[in-house]
Amino acid sequence: MEARRIVKRFGGLVAVDDLSFAVREGEIFGLIGPNGSGKTTVFNLINRFFPPTSGTIHFGDRRIDVLSPHQICALGIARTFQVVKPLRRMTVLENVMTGAFLRTGSVRRARQKALEVLDFCKLMHRKDFPAGKLTIADRKRLEIARALATEPRLLLLDETAAGLNPRETEEAMDIIRQIRELGVTIIVVEHVMKVITGICDRVMAINFGREITTGPPAAVVNHPEVIKAYLGEADA
């Protein structure tokens, strides 16, 4: 996946400002930045929740910033939502089946696929729970499971560790690593630095929608500009 000079304006506010980056196949790419720096907006541009103001996004050799969100998902880019969006009155299993239906028309096969994914994400025990009644940790996991069920080649994870306790965070990291083992490329947005340094191959730091630096996790996290960006936020 490659983004070339993407810009997103909301009225006067420039949420993403001339960003270019490329994600290599099979890697875990981290995207960090203080609150409001434009990380979620980058995801919203990749899966075309809104069109970029300018710039292009390619996936493989396809230009995807002109497609609609469902077409992008069908091409193999799935995402989770920072503000989780469970299909509340459906059970966990049904939620995941809804994702699985992208690749099959058969209810039986969708259920089978969903059960596999639930097992993989360690959500089996919640299978018949209404999604609206899950705890936050389980909801985050449901987001991942549902996205995985669409059999993506690229997975966008938006703050899946936020609000989790240390043990749940460990589990989430395990799951992400295992997803990579399946050959899925992953972009993670995360505030929890332990997750970033723990699983990412490369990290890009942004602030005010602009790139600060890109590189190996340890280098980026300790980059003075990055520290300043985060500290600046703490001061404010």
Partner 1 sequence: MHRYRIWAAVALALLALALPFIFNSPYYQHMLILILIWAALGTAWNLLGGYCGQVSFGHAAFFGLGAYSAGLLYLHLGASPWWGMALGPVVATLVSIPIGLICFRLRGPYFALAMLALGEIFRLVFLNWISFTNGPRGILMVAARPGKILFYYLALAILGLALWWSYLLIKSKFGYYFVSIREDQDAAEALGIPTTRYKLYALLPSAFLTGLVGAFYMNYVAFIEPNVVFSLGNVSVMIILVVILGGVATLWGPTVGAAMYIALGELFRAQLGAANVLAFGVLVCLVILFLPNGVVGEVDLFKRLMGGKRRGDVGGSLGSP
DSSP character at residue 91: B
- Of 55 and 130, which CB lies nearer to partner 1 in the complex structure? 130
By CB under 6 A, the count of residues binding ligand ATP is 12
CA nearest to 160, candidates 128, 138, 178: 138
Beta bridge partners of 29: 187, 202
Is residue 214 involved in binding Mg ion (CB under 5 A)? no
Is residue 82 involved in binding Mg ion (CB under 5 A)? yes
Binder of ligand ATP out of 1, 21, 23, 38 (CB under 6 A): 38
Is residue 15 involved in binding ligand ATP (CB under 6 A)? yes
CA nearest to 40, candidates 202, 161, 157, 203: 157
- Which range in 12-20, 79-87, 148-156, 201-209 contacts Mg ion by CB under 5 A? 79-87
Contact in structure between 84 and 95 (CB atoms under 8 Å): no
Contact in structure between 191 and 32 (CB atoms under 8 Å): yes
Residues within the interface to partner 1 (CB under 8 A): 47, 49, 68-71, 73-74, 78-79, 81, 85-91, 94-95, 97-99, 101-102, 105, 107, 110, 128, 130, 146-147, 150
